[in-house]
Copies of this chain bind each other. A is one copy, B any other.
Amino acid sequence: MESQKSLADKWIKMLQASGYRQTEARNTIVDVILESQRALEPLEIFEIGRKRQSGLGLVTVYRTLERLEALGLVQRVHQPGGCNMYLRAPVGHEHLLICTSCGKAEFFNGDDLAPLMDYVAKQSGYCITEHWFQLFGQCADCQKK
């Protein structure tokens, strides 16, 4: 598992490689996202980030999320309660497993889906280009309580 710090460096480098600049606000926002175990709303990122960098603005959070999402570094997470939370994007065939109690998000490998998707494609005649697969439940810690 790559450390948060080096992942943050990589993200900033990717922003720069796309013509964007490294700024204090972006450093803060990237750190907040990478240090979180769960998906966060823009307002939450703003509030957490503001404790470290008092001048941070909510609009900058929105604009930074937009860029990070366009670069594929961050994903919007869809949940029964709403679809405005953000998390680091999966790499490869990772899918999300989210705790309904504490919100903790983990990734698991979903390679096994390929046969089912092939079958559905054959049956339906669709040319399948994308799949969403996500699990919800209670994590081990929350089950104990």
User: Contact between B126 and A131 (Cβ–Cβ < 8 Å)?
Assistant: no
Given contacts A97-B124, A116-B113, contact A134 B131 (CB under 8 A): yes
A117 located at the interface, meaning its Cβ lies under 8 Å from any Cβ of chain B in the complex: yes
Measured in the bound complex, the distance between the Cα atoms of B117 and A110 in whole Å is 10
A contact residues, total (Cβ < 8 Å): 36
A128 located at the interface, meaning its Cβ lies under 8 Å from any Cβ of chain B in the complex: yes
> Across the interface, which residues of B come within 8 angstroms of A97, CB to CB?
120, 124, 126, 128
User: Contact between A125 and B100 (Cβ–Cβ < 8 Å)?
Assistant: no
Measured in the bound complex, the distance between the Cα atoms of B80 and A127 in whole Å is 17
Measured in the bound complex, the distance between the Cα atoms of B121 and A106 in whole Å is 12
Each complex incorporates copies of this chain amounting to 2
Contact with B along A82-99 (1 / 0, CB 8 A): 010000000000000101
Contact with B along A122-139 (1 / 0, CB 8 A): 011111111111111111
Contact with B along A103-121 (1 / 0, CB 8 A): 0001010101101110111
How far is the CB of A86 from the nearest CB of chain B, in Å? 14
Measured in the bound complex, the distance between the Cα atoms of B137 and A117 in whole Å is 11
User: Contact between B116 and A129 (Cβ–Cβ < 8 Å)?
Assistant: no
User: Contact between A117 and B132 (Cβ–Cβ < 8 Å)?
Assistant: no
User: Contact between B135 and A117 (Cβ–Cβ < 8 Å)?
Assistant: yes
Q: Within the complex, which residue of B117, B129, B135, B137 is in contact with A100, where a contact is CB–CB below 8 Å?
A: B129
